[in-house]
Amino acid sequence: MGHLSAVVQSGILYVSFLRARELYRRLACPGGVRTYPARRLACTEISIVMSTDHSQQKFETRCVHVGVDKDDTFNSCITPIYPTSTFRFEALGKTKGYDYTRSGNPTRRALEESLASLEGGIDCRTTCTGMSASTATMHLFKPGDHIIAGHDIYGGTFRLFSVPFTEFGLKFSFVNMQDVENVRRAITPQTKCIWIETPSNPLLNLVDIEAVVKVAQSKGILTIADNTFMSPYFQRPLELGVDVVVHSTTKYLNGHSDVVGGAVITKKKEHAERVGYIVNALGLANSPFDAWLVLRGVKTLGPRMEAHQRGAMAVAQMLKQHPLVEKVYYPGLPDHPHHELAKRQMKGFGGMLSFDVKGGGAKAEKVMTTTKLYAMAESLGGVESLIEHPETMSHASMTLEARRGAGITDKTLRVSVGIEHPDDLIADLKQALEA
């Protein structure tokens, strides 16, 4: 034990106990040397991770470990928050990788590394809201370009496409993408993008991702998928051929209803560079603290999604049998029209469902205002259960004609099933229906 030794093995630098003790003295006691009984560190070996390849690790492991080991000074087990707005230059033109937080921040970059790993992309840029993530992707196109999107997408996305970006010169077609032939027929020489939202919000219709990608690739068209409802735990569009994935990190990725944010994940260098430029130039990036909150939430993504799905399946099965429910929209039910597709392209059915109440809008309102565990609120993906009325809430920004064309009526309710015990969620919804 009288000699110093260092052996590099599998990317890990192992330092003998005497060297480790000396390092500890220098870090902890820069003003003086303390002595420690040898027995306190005897047979102890400290490993310092220099670089780790996470690509072969399981999903849940990557949720916990990617983007974490950033603190070489104190070896924090949690990614630090760097709330600074600016960074000191070491010399003219020389930094330690960051100069201004709008352009880049270590905490935000840690989250971006994590999400890129989970989705299987080469890069990610996180933004201040989910809508800003969608906004960033639309800046990949120029006036005159044509984009195809589903007719039953999230109301905020419909508004973004049909008003601001239409006014900027982009052209949009909203089609029923459940039939890939509708997509094929909508393509024009100006079509540059197909926007995929699956399952759709709020009626949980599915789009055959691989079929749409095949059509797009045959025409040289970019594909972008909103994967918010499923999260990368249950669905990974990049693996099915999609070019770009967007998320509202507000939802399942964060999972605690205490932050808003978005993400754009890419798998090709040219898209990654362009999105990075856009997010910086337009000032769309999220704050370090918001990035840290999402990174914290991602750690429990796997077990949370399993809990969400367990509750959603139980609630959907109850609603399916309830005499006061007209229709249930949940891809986990065997009679859902896209159940087989769901089993093929998803690894689970998720925590979102919708249902139509017998008795119309008045009865639907009664149900929402009578629940005790389900908060009547917009958003989704948090640990608590939420219930909302798409007609007047999440999809109010769509035109009445568009809502009816998508199948949304005043009797439709959307539920984000939390992680509470399914028995309690079922009992509460039953009493609300029967009140």
Q: What is the DSSP string of 38-86?
A: GGGTTT--EEEES----TTS-HHHHHHHTTT---TTT--SSPPP---SB
CB 246 within 8 A of CB 224: yes
CA atoms within 13 A on the CB side of 412: 21
Structure tokens that stand for 83 in this block: 């709330």
Indicate which residue of 19, 25, 70, 102 is catalytic.
102
Q: C-alpha 409: how far from its chain's center?
A: 28
CB 243 within 8 A of CB 253: no
- Beta-bridge partner residues of 355: 328, 413
Is 171 annotated as catalytic?
A: no
Is 320 annotated as catalytic?
A: no
Q: What is the DSSP string of 376-429?
A: E-S---SSS-EEE-TTTTTTTTS-HHHHHHHT--TTEEEEE--SS-HHHHHHHH
Is 226 annotated as catalytic?
A: yes
CB 353 within 8 A of CB 204: yes
CB 276 within 8 A of CB 139: no
Angle separating helix axes 130-138 and 155-162, nearest 10 degrees: 30
CB 285 within 8 A of CB 279: yes
Residues in the chain: 435
Alpha helices in 168-287 (DSSP H): 180-186, 209-218, 231-234, 269-282
Indicate which residue of 82, 154, 252, 329 is catalytic.
154
Indicate which residue of 208, 226, 290, 410 is catalytic.
226
Alpha-carbon dihedral 94, 102, 154, 59, rounded to 10 degrees: 40
Angle separating helix axes 130-138 and 269-282, nearest 10 degrees: 120
Contacts of 32 (CB under 8 A, 6+ apart): none
Helix (H, G, I), strand (E, B) or coil at 173: strand
Helix (H, G, I), strand (E, B) or coil at 165: helix
Q: Catalytic residue positions?
A: 102, 154, 226, 251
